[in-house]
Amino acid sequence: MRNLRTTLFLGTATLLLSASPMSPAHAAPGDGYVRLAHLSPDTPEVDVYLYSAGKKTPRLVLRHVGYGALSPYQRLGTGSYTVMMRPADAPATSKPVLSTNVRVQSGDSYTVAGMGPYKGIKLDILKDTADLPAGRAGVRVIAASLKQPALNVTAGGQSLADGLQLANATPYRVLDAAPKTIRVQGRKGDAVSLRLPLRAGALHTVVVLDGKKGLRLLDQRDARQSAQTPKGGVDTGLGGLAVQTPWWQALAMAGLALWFSGRARARGFDGRSRARWFSGRARSADGQARPQP
Amino acid sequence: MKRLVLALLAAAALTGCGGEQATAPPPANWKAVPGQVAEPSPTPSARAYADPVEIRIPALGVRSRLERLRTDAHGVLSTPRDPARAGWFAGGVRPGEQGPAVIAGHVDSRTGPGVFAKLRDLRPGSEIQVVDAKGSVVRFASREVRVHPKALFPSADVYGPTPDAELRLITCGGAFDRARGHYADNVVAYAVRA
């Protein structure tokens, strides 16, 4: 026990002293991304407001956002934000018809969408990131059609959704990274398809909307990650610029080490002395106080 | 007890899990419009880029042709053969396309500075230019530089999904272990397409 404690003491001192240009690891938070969407088939146009939580002035206003519109991703610092939707051209100070808070975390993407029929419209927050196995792609489906309220979706013969209802989103399904035909079929047999060039590491969202004649499919390329992820870091340095420990630092380290071990020995730093420090008495197993031997 | 409940409610509101639905009576002319046809916003078609061949960082005086880097038998990213030349990770994303493109370069040679000797000093907003094999130039703006111990390398941050075209420049830093011949840390500069 004595040796372990001494070693830890000396080890810490050595580490602190040998800090040759030891860089402080930045804990700076990164950014996240948010996009806004209007996916309610029978809701009229809205103005969308994005506020930093607690602020009265919006940092972003999108005007006359109609059914089927998705904004580009907005890069935002990590933190809390409020999204409000008001009827198009309603005053900025009027009460919103929809409001939600979204917490943005570093490196994550979100879609904040008005979903569902007018009578039950709600603001949903979808997380747009997923872990993909190396070299694969991911596709999810959002049902936003009132005319076909239940959908069956396949991709190259593989089922992505079965009876997906309006205002619902599937999770990302993992697929091979190869061009795939997405086929969407409603209850009454109307079918529509879209060819997706799925690249390795890509995440797509297919939004099913009401078009002029039947269903309309929208492909959103949500994000892409590196097709391959190397293990660990990179050895990109050969030492030509490395700083040597200055002689005075090495001497100080040695001096401190000697001093600490000297102090430890003088104090009789061993198991027996600990008991003495805590109290003059020891308690035996039966709880009776007995004088120290 | 009441204070605890209020505090919990406030916390729930702030964390936004599932979303607050603060609805209000809408204006008189606000009503359902059945039979709407979707008007999706036009999606700008993604521009394709060829493999990158050169990187320039004017603020640091960096101008280098690019080697192609792959992972070795252990899955670790290989390093450029020439300390004066940076390398692009060819198993990942091309600079300019959606996702995180990665370029690595030595901080030093055995005797002096390498191509990325001053990477740590890259200030936010500095421009980085990457030229592809067809001569197209993609511009990036540096956002931040972070230092990570190699033992805790943030692979998800560096190689993980991004909605836009981004770039990560990697070199070494921190303490140099002479016995092993390696630096302890990686310096990563994060940049986004300008």
Inter-chain touch A43–B39, beta carbons under 8 Å: no
pLDDT band per the 50, 70, 90 thresholds, residue A248: confident
Chain A positions in Cβ-Cβ contact with residue B104 (cut-off 8 Å):
234, 236
- In a domain? residue B170: yes
* Chain A contact present for B161, CB below 8 A: yes
CA A105-A30-A236 angle, to 5 degrees, is 135
Give the mean pLDDT of A172-180: 96
Give the whole-angstrom CA distance, residue A162 versus residue A152.
5
ipTM summary value: 0.84
Q: Is residue B102 part of a domain?
A: yes
- Domain containing B150 equals 52-193
Tell me if B11 is assigned to some domain: no
Report whether pLDDT(A10) > 70. no
Task: Please provide residue A192's backbone torsions phi and psi, each rounded to the nearest 5 degrees.
Answer: -140, 145
* CB-closest option in A20, A99, A235 to B175: A20
Question: Which of B30, B31, B38 shows the shortest C-beta gap to A210?
Answer: B38
pLDDT tier, A20 (very low <50, low <70, confident <90, very high otherwise): very low
Torsion of the alpha carbons at A106, A109, A115 and A121, rounded to the nearest 10: 20
pTM of the model: 0.78
Residues of B in contact with A54 (CB under 8 A): none
The CATH architecture of the domain made up of A29-129 is Sandwich (2.60)
Q: How far is A1 from chain B (nearest CA, A)?
A: 29
Terminal CA-CA length for chain B:
52
In a domain, B139, yes or no: yes
Q: What is the dihedral of CA A245, A248, A250, A252, to 10 degrees?
A: -140
> Strand A191-197 relative to strand B52-57: parallel, antiparallel, unpaired?
unpaired
Question: Chain B partners of A225 at a C-beta cutoff of 8 Å?
Answer: 99-100, 159-162
Per-residue pLDDT tens over the stretch B125-145 = 999 999 999 999 999 999 999
* Contact present, B173 and A227 (Cβ < 8 Å): no
Percent pLDDT > 90 in chain A is 66
B32 at A interface, C-beta within 8 A: yes
Q: What is the pLDDT of residue A58?
A: 96
A127: which 2 tokens? 């997380």
pLDDT at residue A47 in the model:
96
How many structural domains are present in chain B?
Answer: 1
* Residue ranges of chain B whose pLDDT lies below 50: 12-22
Contact B93 A235 (CB under 8 A): no
Size of interface A-B (CB pairs under 8 A): 276
What's residue B19's pLDDT? 43
3-state secondary structure of B60: helix
**Predicted local distance difference test score (pLDDT) of residue A125:** 97
User: Which of the pair, B71 or A22, is modelled with greater confidence?
Assistant: B71
User: What is the CATH classification number for the domain harbouring B102?
Assistant: 2.40.260.10
pLDDT of residue A282: 47
Name the maximum alpha-carbon separation found in chain A: 97
User: pLDDT per residue over A39-74, tens digit each?
Assistant: 999 999 999 999 999 999 999 999 999 999 999 999
Residue B29 belongs to some domain of the structure: no
Query: Sign (positive/negative) of CA torsion A164, A169, A171, A173?
Result: positive
Backbone angles phi, psi at A55, to 5 degrees: -90, 150
Q: At the top level of CATH, which class does the domain A130-225 belong to?
A: mainly beta
Q: What is the pLDDT of residue A256?
A: 85
Across A180-189, A200-209, B124-133, B153-162, least confident range? A180-189
Contact check, Cβ <8 Å, B157/A235 = no
The kind and range of the H/E element at A109 are: strand A109-115
Domains A29-129 and A130-225 agree in fold: yes
pLDDT average, residue stretch A216-225: 95
Domain spans in chain A, listed from the N-terminal domain onward: 29-129, 130-225
Identity of the residue numbered A15 = L
pLDDT at A221 over 70: yes
